[in-house]
Amino acid sequence: MGNNRAISVLDVPYDTAQQLAQFVAVCYVSGYQGEDGFVGMPSGANAPKFAGFTQAPSAGTAFNPPYSTSFNKVSVRKIGASMAISNGAISYGDRLIIASAAGDVISVESELEAGTNPLLFVIGTAESSASGSGQPISVWIDPQVVPAG
């Protein structure tokens, strides 16, 4: 099959109060007044409430009430394959979690084998490899909570 596969995807528009880069992992967050329908940067490594990966930078200016109360719009890939940014070496087929508040991803295969973290919020599987940080990789989106060990 190689790379000539037809892949179905689902991209959903969300509001955000942040300026978001392309291909970062984002999480569900409450809006300015506690509203639903917002995404934002993750709180840190292994963050819960994964929503998907941004497909383009968010449109609009930074949300800055009371001066600016319009929200940015961002397209988030929820189902299918997406590009992401690595935070360390990743092998093809590795399960991935959010690596940091920057929205990058990292392999958790060693943590799963060692049982060092009670719960891992796996967000997908690497469809390509990365030799280090800051490299674009392909990810199959498949969020699940996995007990380590």
Percent of the chain at pLDDT > 90 equals 64
Q: What percent of the chain has pLDDT over 70?
A: 85
pTM of the model: 0.87
Does 34 share its domain with 71? Answer: yes
Q: Are 13 and 59 in contact (CB under 8 A)?
A: no
Residue 122 lies in a domain: yes
What does the CA dihedral 124, 116, 91, 43 come to, rounded to 10 degrees? 50
Q: Identify residue 129 by its one-letter amino acid code.
A: S
* 123 in a structural domain: yes
Residue 129 in any domain: the answer is yes
Conformation bin of residue 46: beta by default, left when phi > 0, alpha when psi is -120 to 50: left
Are 46 and 61 in a shared domain? yes
Q: Are residues 29 and 69 in the same domain?
A: yes
Residue 5 lies in a domain: no
User: Quick one: pLDDT at residue 1?
Assistant: 41
* pLDDT tens column, 97-117: 999 999 999 999 887 777 776
Asked whether residue 90 falls in the same domain as residue 105, the answer is yes
From 59, 78, 97, the end of a domain falls on: 78
Measure the CA dihedral 142/83/93/6, to 10°: 80
Identify whether residues 127 and 67 lie together within a single domain.
no
Q: For residue 143, is it within any domain?
A: yes
The pLDDT value recorded for residue 62 is 57
DSSP code for 112: H
Q: How many domains does the chain have?
A: 2
Domain-located, residue 1: no
Considering the domain boundaries, does residue 2 fall inside one? no
What is the average per-residue pLDDT within 117-136?
94
- For residue 54, give its domain range: 10-78
| 50 falls within a domain | yes
